[in-house]
Amino acid sequence: MDYMEFLKTKRIKFESTGVECDTDLMHPLLFDFQRDLTKWSIRKGRAAVFADTGLGKTFIQLEWARLLDQRTLLVAPLSVARQTVREARKIDLQVHYVRSREQMRTLAGKLFITNYEMVDAFDPAEFGAVALDESSILKGLTGKTRQKLTEMFADTPYRLCCTATPAPNDIAEIANHAEFLGIMNRADMLATFFVHDENGWRLRGHAEEAFYRWMASWGMSVRKPSDLGYDDDGFILPPLNIEPIYVSTGYCPEGQLLFTGLKGIQNRSQVRKETMQPKVETLAEIVNASNEQWIVWCGLNRESEAATAAIQDAVEVKGADKLDYKIEALERFQDGEIRVLVTKPKIAGFGMNFQQCHNMAFLGLSDSWESYYQAIRRCYRFGQKYPVNVKIVLAEIEQEIYRNVMAKERRASEMAQNLIDNVQQFEKAEIDGLTLEDWQYTTDTVVGDGYKLMLGDSVERLAEVADDSVHLSVFSPPFMDLYVYSPTERDLGNSGTPEGFFQHFGYIIEHLLRVTKPGRICAVHTADVPALLSKDGYIGLKDFPGKVIDAFESRGWIYHGRVTIDKNPQAQAIRTHSKALLFVQMEKDSSWSRPAIGDYILVFRKPGENEMSITPVENGEITRDVWIEWARPIWTGIRETETLQYTVARGDKDDKHICPLQLETIERCIKLWSNPGETILDPFGGIGSTPYQAMKFGRKAIAIELKPEWFKWIVRNVKDAKREAGQVDLFAMAGVEV
The reply to whether 420 falls in a domain is no
**Residues 393, 297 within the same domain:** yes
List of the chain residues with pLDDT < 70: 167-169, 253-261, 435-439, 534, 570-577, 579-581, 585, 612-615, 646-658, 727-738
The reply to whether 427 falls in a domain is no
* Closest by CA position to 608, among listed 673, 681, 556, 562: 556
* 632/549 Cα distance (integer angstroms): 20
**Residues 576, 660 within the same domain:** yes
**Residues 378, 468 within the same domain:** no
Q: What is the pLDDT of residue 656?
A: 59
| pTM (2 d.p.) | 0.78
Q: What is the pLDDT of residue 511?
A: 98
Q: What is the pLDDT of residue 734?
A: 40
Identify the domain boundary among 179, 199, 228: 228
**How many domains does the structure of the chain reveal?**
3
The reply to whether 423 falls in a domain is no
Q: What is the pLDDT of residue 605?
A: 97
Q: What is the pLDDT of residue 550?
A: 98
**Residues 706, 559 within the same domain:** yes
**Residues 694, 548 within the same domain:** yes
* Closest by CA position to 506, among listed 561, 475, 550: 550
* 315/296 Cα distance (integer angstroms): 10
Q: What is the pLDDT of residue 412?
A: 82
- Residue 178 · residue 184 · CB < 8 Å: yes
**Residues 405, 468 within the same domain:** no
* Region of residue 360 (phi > 0: left; psi between -120 and 50: alpha; otherwise: beta): beta
Range of the domain at 394: 240-412
- Residue 254 · residue 464 · CB < 8 Å: no
Q: Concatenated DSSP letters for 215-241?
A: HHTTEEEESSGGGGT---TT-----EE
- Contacts of residue 58, defined as CB under 8 A and 6 or more positions apart, other chains included, come to 84, 87, 133, 162
**Residues 201, 291 within the same domain:** no
**Residues 270, 216 within the same domain:** no
* 613/116 Cα distance (integer angstroms): 81
Q: What is the pLDDT of residue 648?
A: 53
Burial of 466: CB neighbours in 10 Å, binned 0-12, 13-18, 19+: exposed
In this structure, what CATH number is given to the domain that contains residue 95? Answer: 3.40.50.10810
Q: What is the pLDDT of residue 735?
A: 43
Tell me phi and psi for residue 320, to 5 degrees.
-80, -10
**Residues 215, 249 within the same domain:** no
Q: Alpha helices of 335-438 — where are they, by DSSP H? A: 345-348, 369-376, 399-431
